Amino acid sequence: MTLERIAEGVWGAARPMRALPLLDIGTRMTVVRLPDGGLLLHSPVEADAPTRAAVDALGPVRFVCAPNRVHHLYAGGWKTAYPDARLLGAPGLARKRRDLRFDGELGDAPDPAWGGVLDTLLLRGAPWLDEVAFLHRPTRTLLLTDSAFHPTPASRRGLRIWTTVSRVRGGFGPNAVARLAIRDRAAFRASLERVLAWDFDRVVVTHGEVLESGGEQALRRAYAWLPGG
């Protein structure tokens, strides 16, 4: 399985994922090249041999990041395959996955080893997810997991069904589950405004297609229902 080039120094690995027995909604891992030539893996997919080979062709794996409390299933497989890589998880994930040894926690302070090319921010107010958004500065690319879905006619049939059933509005944004996960709307809105202040245009989502442009406006519209929008 190959990787798709998303932008300079950014690749995606779109793979199957079943949310329900009959629905393959798909998932995506994003691979980012760091200034030292090492790689950061965002929202890992299964560490199968073909995917590892494709990643190895790009450079050494330095970081494995599970960016929310849901997208962690395959993180351990990458840590096993690359024991020298640092495993970083969203807040609370280390307590949830006591079988894994995390090297640190994601939050508002990006790791100094990322050389200033990545920013991170915890989307507060949704403790069931505790998602950490990433910004790849050089390519103005925002990386999200469950805070936005982007189904299109090119998407897997299972994703199109799932996003219809779970009510993704306007073809881009959170589904009903992610909306219900927001327990403190004011806190989430404050975090979202900080993300919207970032300089980004492209949005890479875990479920659905890459939104190549207009990302800031699309994300703002997707959360216009929140107070303060």
Whether the predicted pLDDT of 190 surpasses 90: yes
In sequence order, which ranges of 166-209 are alpha helices (DSSP H)? Answer: 176-181, 185-196
Q: What mean pLDDT is predicted for residues 93-106? A: 92
Establish if 228 belongs to a structural domain: no
Q: Is residue 111 part of a domain?
A: yes
Q: Considering its fold, how many domains does the chain have in total? A: 1
Residue 66: beta bridge partners? 89
Q: For residue 1, is pLDDT > 70?
A: no
In whole angstroms, give the CA distance from residue 205 to residue 226: 20
**Could you read off the pLDDT of 110-137 as tens digits, one per residue?**
999 999 999 999 999 999 999 999 999 9
| Distance, CA of 59 to CA of 33 (rounded, Å) | 8
The answer to the question of residue 95 being in a domain is: yes
For the segment 56-60, the average pLDDT, to the nearest whole number, is 98
Residue 93 has pLDDT above 80, yes or no: yes
Considering the domain boundaries, does residue 229 fall inside one?
no
Asked if residue 158 is part of any domain, the answer here is yes
> What's the average model confidence in pLDDT over 223-227?
95
Give ∠ CA 166-169-175 in degrees, rounded to 5.
35
Mean pLDDT, all residues of the chain: 95
In a domain, 227, yes or no: no
Average pLDDT for residues 49-72, to the nearest whole number?
Answer: 96
Q: Would you say residue 229 has pLDDT above 90? A: no
Per-residue pLDDT, 48: 95
Alpha-carbon distance of 107 to 32, in angstroms, equals: 18
> Is residue 62 in some structural domain?
yes
Domain with 165, as residue range(s), is 4-222
Quickly state the pLDDT bin for 94 (edges 50, 70, 90): confident
Q: What is the pLDDT of residues 150-180, one digit of tens each?
A: 999 999 999 999 899 999 999 999 999 999 9
Q: Please tell me the predicted confidence (pLDDT) of residue 20.
A: 65
Q: What is the CATH number of the domain that holds 43?
A: 3.60.15.10
Provide the percentage of residues in the chain whose pLDDT is more than 70.
Answer: 99
Query: In the predicted model, is pLDDT for residue 21 greater than 80?
Result: no
Mean pLDDT of the region 70-74 = 88
Count of beta carbons in the 10 Å neighbourhood of residue 158 = 18
Q: Residue range 210-214: average pLDDT? A: 98
Contact indicator for 114, 37 with CB cutoff of 8 Å: no
pTM of this structure = 0.96
Mean pLDDT across 87-95: 93
Percent of the chain with pLDDT over 90: 87
CA gap 62, 31 in Å, rounded: 11
